[in-house]
Amino acid sequence: MTKTRMTNQAQLFVWSDIDPDHEADFNQWYDREHMEERVRIPGFTGARRYRAVSGTARRYLALYRASALTDFTSDAYQRAFTRQTQWSVTNFGRMCNTRRRVMHIAQEGGFGWGGALVLIELVPGAVSAEALRAQMEALLAEDGVLRVHHMIPDETLSTPLPSENTEGRVLAPCLAVDVSSEPIAEATLRQLTEAFGGAVREAETFRLMWSLDENDLPALDA
């Protein structure tokens, strides 16, 4: 489990906050409608929701896994935006301080999803692919580290949601690390911020709220 591999897979990354007055409805919408809708799009293989532990700027992170970047240009994906429910429209309008990125998963190692996640945003171009690979393989040798993935944003596909401030917008590569517990996430965060130093733009830890795999979903009635 100590080697990384190149992939053609992709991941939609939506990191956002919500007014506490609407938080309960926001979570219910994600849990009862939005996650299922997205995972049912052909090419999407699963989704995960997280709540921030180490920071408060954006409390919620959603990651949607797809087979390739082309899944974000498909007719089915585009149709999803023309058939929004009123519940979706309302909650998209309530989201704030949002970052939406469509990422190519350039390198990955390990497997499975952990109960906690470390997310590091890097200064574009500051860390070479070789240095990232070496750090990722070193992480995979650590107890409690399950999976690492290096994600590179696609500039064309990463269109902002209305609640994102586009002034000075930076499309930063990310390193995400799935681990088995929050204490291991905290230790991993410290390790990575020390290793990458000034190349780190932002760093957070999260706890997994829930995950949904495409194979979990029953077939829709014809």
Whether residue 54 is contained in a domain is answered as yes
- 3-state SS assignment for residue 192: helix
Q: Is residue 12 part of a domain?
A: yes
What is the reported pLDDT for 56?
65
Q: For residues 48 and 210, is the Cβ–Cβ distance under 8 A?
A: yes
* pLDDT of 76 higher than 70: yes
Residue 57, pLDDT > 80, answer no
What pTM was computed for the model?
A: 0.94
Residue 222: pLDDT band with limits 50, 70, 90: low
**146/56: higher pLDDT:** 146
Residue 136's domain spans which residues?
4-215
Residue-level pLDDT at 162: 85
Kindly state whether residue 220 falls inside one of the protein's structural domains: no
Placement of tokens 């014809």 in the chain: 222
154-160's contacts with Cβ under 8 Å and 24+ in sequence apart are 154/10, 154/69, 154/72, 154/102, 154/103, 154/104, 157/69, 157/72, 157/73, 157/102, 158/100, 158/101, 158/102, 158/103, 159/100, 160/98, 160/100
Q: What pLDDT was estimated at residue 163?
A: 87
**pLDDT value of residue 46:** 97
pLDDT for 3: 86
Query: Has residue 221 been placed in a domain?
Result: no
CATH number at residue 139: 3.30.70.100
Q: With pLDDT > 90 as the criterion, what percentage of the chain qualifies?
A: 88
On whether residue 107 sits in a domain, the answer given is: yes
**Mean pLDDT in residue range 15-43:** 96
Does position 193 have pLDDT exceeding 80, yes or no?
yes
CA–CA separation, 161 vs 159, rounded Å?
Answer: 7
**3-class secondary structure, 3:** coil
DSSP state of 195: H
pLDDT at 185: 97
Mean pLDDT computed over every residue of the chain = 94
What tokens appear for 183 in the block? 């204490």
The reply to whether 150 falls in a domain is: yes
User: What total of structural domains would you count in the chain?
Assistant: 1
User: Cα separation of 157 and 149, whole Å?
Assistant: 19
Chain segment 118-141, per-residue pLDDT in tens: 999 999 999 998 999 999 999 999
Alpha-carbon span 203 to 188, nearest angstrom: 11
Query: Above 60 in pLDDT, residue 1?
Result: no
Higher-confidence residue of 161 and 148: namely: 148
Distance of CA 201 to the CA centre of its chain: 16
Three-state secondary structure call for residue 164: coil
**Is residue 157's pLDDT more than 90?**
yes
In a domain, 148, yes or no: yes
